[in-house]
A and B are shown apart, each in its own frame.
Chain A
Amino acid sequence: MHEQKAALLAYSALPALALALPVLGAACAAAAGEGRARLRNWAAVVSTGATLATVTALLSRVLSRGAVYFNLDILRLGDRFVGNLEVDAMGAFFAFFASLLWFAASLHAFRYLDHEHKRTRFYLFMLLTQAATLGVFMVQDFFTLYLFFEAMGLLAYLLVIHSETERARAAAAKYICMTVVGGLSLVGGVFLYLGYAGTVAFRPLAESAWLAGSFKVVALVCLMAGFGVKAGMVPLHIWLPDAHPAAPSPASALLSGVMIKAGAYGIIRTLLSFFQQPATHAAHAETAAAGAHGAEGTIHGAGGLASNVQALGMVVILIAVATMFTGMLLALVQNDIKRTLAYSSVSQMGYILFGAGCLAFLGAEGPMGIGGSLYHVLNHAFFKGCFFLAAGSILFRAHELDMFKLGGLWRRMPFTAFCWCVAALGIMGIPPFGGFVSKTLLHHAILESHHLAEAGHLGTASLVKFAEIMFIITSGGTICYITKTTYYTFFRRPRDEHAHHLEHVREAPAWMLAGTALLAAGVLVNGLFPGLLLRRLVGPVVSTVPGFDAHMAAHLSEVPVYIWANLKEIFIPLAIGLGLFSLAAWPDLLGAKRRGPDLFHLRLPRWLGVDYWYVRGAKGSLALLFSAKRLYAPVKEGVVREAKAGAAGAVRLVREVVYPNLTTRPLAWIKAHTLRLYRETRREFLPRIREYQGDLAVGALVIAVSLTLFLIMRLL
């Protein structure tokens, strides 16, 4: 492996620099402290900016000249496990938008933290989390990935609990439980992967029994669950809607914009690992692949369309559909802005997983799926980051996040409202904003999957069709809840009882606007220059993934976006969304009195949520454990009691039956016996001793002398 590495990869210090800069920034921020607050804030801005520059350089280098590595050489356990940095195009892509978001968040935090406490702690852990998160994207094996992933999850705990209110505590408790359980599931999955792939690297070894392993499914489930917890995959999403709103807004933007993407990144990596078959199992595909991929293809083999990978893809598509639909449905009924956004994140993660599922379903023809997924990752990072930063600005000025208690903010905060609207049009998928491009790609991917399933007369064809329909319905629901949030927060006239609270609301400070605007600009760029991004960024990233059909990968770079065939697809979701919105919000729109049920204020019973059952399950299993302990205690006491009784009985037996005299009056007994023995001995032996007195004395002397001599000789 090492010779190959040297041949394929170039050494670069950039990855290590990208990890070191945030840590350095964190150290500076912690050293400056509250006493030199401006210095501390500047340290955060400068270090995130420098990291962004470094990662951009890294990205351009990786895209132009191939993957790079850096010998971190930590955690070396024998020859098989070692922690090293290695960045390929996909990792660099994720690292790039992550550092962009961190830069925007640190700009926003510059002023936002004014009304928070323990600001130094926040900066410290925000920057440390950045280092850990970038580390997740800069490795090529599950061993080191787990290292950074766990560090990221635990460091982010400090961001979630930051405000230390009851709500934040509860959210953080949920978060840490899910993180720990997810981490354990992950490490279990990595072990099983190791056991059956023979390596922890993302690329399975060619000679392993990878596709034959019977534990493959378990390994897959463990890995998917471990990453899925972070990714907010249904039914593991329960921490997300609590944790994201509880964190300070810059941190929410990071949690929603980047950290859940780390989960998605893990899932994509897992799927790609399972999808890349070792050469021995794909001999028939190799001849086709060898010409297309050169050295890479011949070494690692290329993907053929194995039916179990396809089934895996189908399962992921269905999970993704469940995720996007559940998230959308729950986002509809929230009234807290940040909670709406958090559920929206769950829903949008469904889109990203959807693309990943299409990738696995399509196999070698899957570049469209992963392309859509990656484009949506980028989009969602920008618009959800922008949303959360804007929500932070609203909280900063209006001290309120209940959208029904707000209103008319567009007059008071026009720039924030503008940025919000850009993000809103982006997430709704209205052309020419970012979301439209990625949703188009994803729609293409699911259509291709449908063609494939129909052409192969697969039984899953109807399921794929169902997924497509759900995709469109969810897009409609997304339009509805975003319209609702935007309308109630920014455009509706505030209710009279809340109006006086909003009188003093002003535009957010420039630092906060800068962060928000940076991300809004990202949404615009994503929408306006899809050709550029696909050709220069997403296309090259996808084409570096080994195992794809080269023709399909090239097609992704040139896929036309703004054509009528794509544009007309937006009308159905738009009709659903706006129809639903006007159905629910007509009294407020028309200023009429409400009659009948109100969709936006629906309260669902607790037992409908999965977290209710998780808590029940956890409590039940704990009770089971403790009942086992309770059962054990009487047994132990019984054993101790019986042992004591047995010992006492034995003593009594000896005392009362065997030697009554010995034990009741031991001294008298010993004295009497000793005396008797002495007298008898004396009567018996004294005459004889007198007779042989001289001989005995000589004998004793001889024995004593010989003993002494022996001892002296021995000691010398």
Chain B
Amino acid sequence: MPDKSTFSVIPLVAILLPWFSLVVITASPKKARTLRLWLCALGALATFGTVLSLLPGILDGNTYTIKLASVVEGLEMRLTVDTLGYYFSLILAFLWLLATVYSISYIDHKENRFFVFMALCESFLIGCAFSANMFTYFIFYELMTFGSYPLIIHEETAMARRAGYKYLVYAISAGTVLFFAIVAHYFWGDGQLGFASYGVLSLESAGRAALMTVFFTYLAGFGVKAAIMPLHGWVPDAHPAAPSPASALLSGVILKAGAFGIIRVCFNVFGVDLMRELKVFVVMAVLACITIVVASVFALTQDNLKRRLAYSSIGQVSYIILGLSMLTHDGALGGVMHLTHHALMKGCLFLCAGVILVKTGKKNISDMKGIGYKLPITMICFSVCALAMMGTPPSVGFITKWLLGSGSLEAGLPVYVIILLTSALLNAAYFLPIIYTAFFRWEGDEAEEGEEHHRPRLVFGKEADHEMVVPIVILAALVIIVGIWVTVPGFPYSFVSKVVGAIFP
């Protein structure tokens, strides 16, 4: 991989551009709130533009690299943009741009702190995506963990503080485990911390037990962010406590940073053949299946909308793990593509939940009767994404479901199909009642049959500020567009099919 790559400063620029917001916020006068926040959005836009500028080269198969520092011989901080990393950075920069715009009208206090840490988090996450080796990845990953803490406790309520505390306990423990994983990897992998297309570890370099130790410490370390089931505890607390744009990013991107780490470990550190040899994929598959089903059952019992969405995220991120564990072409394709698919869907759902919260103050689903009439555009987008989560065609959710199902047949294990279908059924069971409550009930509809005057009317155009509605509409439209024209260059398929096609010829 490194011999083909060309030197480029653009990766470094993409990481440094979010810091522009930091400068803006510290330098600008106190009063010009709108200007200041829009300049932050401009920073996010510039970042997205910078990432986008690499697109043609990446599609041609180029990689770009830049060395940041060298700690000791062989252990260096280096940024390399390969197809997989670029794929992650594209969706994260895009979602970040939308969430930043959304936050302009959503965040009503201490917006300076919020925007600064948003920008820092973006910078660190792009660093994660562009990391050339595990060491760099670990550093950016840990920075991102601390950068996202102020986002979670932003509301500063007792609940938010508790959730933030829980998040820190989980994340720091995970960081420690991850550190040991990297040390073990360094020690047993002959100092090979870089990413290679077919994996860097092999049975010659270390024994079976040593490699399995490395794998499982990695799985445990990244599993906390990826919310694999016994390690998911912080997710259902952190999501409802955080402001909605932050929950959208948590669910859409930060959870995915863990999943992305696991993808890197599977594809670029261990390699598919070694995983098949070690049979570690069995553990991944079992954990993922349990998480998918159990998280959906937990989601059924939640009345708080954002908590329900959080449990749904736990289940959905495990789709990625399940797809990886199949070790087949379609399974890996579906799993890795779900990274973006889920980011689009869940990002939109959390932003919708934010609009509901801001405009009506309602958090619980049982209170949301007739809300579809007050907030028609929001709830239509919500419905689109909820149906997509169920895997209804034509949408990105269907693509994932189809590819995972096809992959499980390639693996010769139709039992995964049953898991997927169960999950889809449970998804329907917890998403459809929300749509039903929003559109087909209204306050006082039990009272008397035929009392028509209570029946609300659709009111368009009065629901929320454009800063909040436009990102939602864009995301919902993409959920369908990406689900229909799958192969357009720049859409997930164009990157992932290349990566997966190289691994599973």
Chain A residues engaging chain B, CB cutoff 8 angstroms: 74-78, 80-81, 83, 117, 143, 146-147, 150-151, 154, 161, 164-166, 169, 172-173, 176, 180-181, 183-184, 187-188, 191-192, 194-195, 215, 625-626, 628-629
Contacts and interface: CB of A to CB of B under 8 A. Distances in A.
Interface string B293-304: 000011011000
B79 interface: no
Given A75-B399, A77-B399, A117 B455 contact: yes
Given A75-B399, A147-B393, A151-B393, A191 B405 contact: yes
B85 interface: no
Given A164-B440, A173-B436, 19 more contacts: A75-B393, A75-B394, A77-B403, A83-B394, A117-B455, A146-B393, A147-B398, A150-B392, A164-B455, A169-B440, A180-B390, A181-B425, A187-B401, A187-B405, A191-B409, A192-B409, A194-B409, A195-B409, A628-B297
Contacts of B483: 75
Contacts of B391: 187
Contacts of B301: 626, 629
Which of the listed residues A75, A143, A188, A628 has the most CB atoms from chain B within 10 Å of its own CB?
A: A75
Given A74-B485, A150-B393, A161-B440, A191 B414 contact: yes
B428 interface: yes
A147 B452 CA distance: 37
A147 B394 contact: yes
Contacts of A183: 392
A75 B484 contact: yes
Interface in B162-183: none
B392 A76 contact: no
A76 B394 CA distance: 11
A75 B397 CA distance: 12
18 contacts: A74-B484, A74-B485, A75-B484, A77-B402, A78-B330, A117-B452, A146-B393, A147-B398, A161-B440, A164-B445, A172-B440, A173-B436, A183-B392, A194-B406, A194-B409, A215-B414, A625-B297, A625-B300
B424 interface: yes
A108 B294 CA distance: 49
A488 B302 CA distance: 51
A215 B414 CA distance: 10
B278 interface: no
B47 to A, nearest CB: 29
A48 to B, nearest CB: 24
B197 to A, nearest CB: 20
B405 A76 contact: no
A117 B414 CA distance: 47
A184 B402 contact: no
A184 B424 contact: yes
Q: Is the interface of A mostly helix, strand, loop or mixed?
A: helix
Contacts of A625: 297, 300
Interface string B431-450: 01000100010000100010
Contacts of B408: 191
A164 B298 CA distance: 30
B417 interface: yes
B359 to A, nearest CB: 23
Nearest to B392: A150
A81 B421 contact: no
A191 B394 contact: no
Contacts of A117: 452, 455
Contact of A176 (B417, B432, B486): B432
A184 B393 contact: no
Nearest to B501: A78
B425 A180 contact: yes
Contacts of A188: 417-418, 421
A187 B408 CA distance: 13
A81 B402 contact: yes
Contacts of B445: 164
A184 B418 CA distance: 10
A102 B326 CA distance: 46
Interface string B224-266: 0000000000000000000000000000000000000000000
B297 A629 contact: yes
Contacts of A165: 449
Contacts of A166: 449
B323 to A, nearest CB: 14
Contacts of A173: 436
Given A180-B428, A629-B301, A195 B484 contact: no
Contact of B486 (A75, A161, A194, A626): A75
Contacts of B213: none
A184 B425 contact: yes
B484 A192 contact: no
B497 A78 contact: yes
A150 B333 CA distance: 24
A74 B481 CA distance: 10
B387 interface: yes
A188 B421 CA distance: 7
Contacts of B390: 180
A154 B392 contact: yes
B77 to A, nearest CB: 15
Contacts of B418: 188
A164 B487 CA distance: 41
A181 B414 CA distance: 18
Interface in B31-79: none
Given A184-B424, A191-B409, A629-B298, A77 B414 contact: no
A117 B428 CA distance: 28
Contacts of A192: 409, 414, 417
Contacts of B487: 76
Residue among A150, A194, A628 having the largest count of chain B Cβ atoms under 10 Å = A150
Contacts of A176: 432
Contacts of A80: 406
B412 to A, nearest CB: 9
Interface in B459-505: 483-487, 493, 497
A85 to B, nearest CB: 14
B440 A74 contact: no
A143 B398 CA distance: 11
Interface string B90-108: 0000000000000000000
Contacts of A180: 390, 425, 428, 432
B403 to A, nearest CB: 6
A183 B432 CA distance: 15
Contacts of B497: 78
B448 to A, nearest CB: 11
Contacts of B432: 176, 180
B372 to A, nearest CB: 12
Nearest to B457: A118
Closest 3 CB pairs between A and B? A195-B409, A147-B393, A180-B428
A154 B409 contact: no
Contacts of A181: 425
Contacts of B387: 154
A183 B387 CA distance: 13
A631 to B, nearest CB: 12
Contacts of B297: 625-626, 628-629
Contacts of A194: 406, 409
A120 to B, nearest CB: 9
A164 B394 CA distance: 27
Contacts of B394: 74-75, 83, 147, 151
A176 B300 CA distance: 17
A192 B403 CA distance: 13
Nearest to A34: B457
A187 B392 contact: no
A210 to B, nearest CB: 14
A76 B330 CA distance: 13
A380 to B, nearest CB: 28
Contacts of A76: 486-487
A628 B408 CA distance: 27
A183 B452 CA distance: 35
A161 B441 CA distance: 11
A625 B422 CA distance: 12
Interface in B377-404: 387, 390-394, 398-399, 401-403
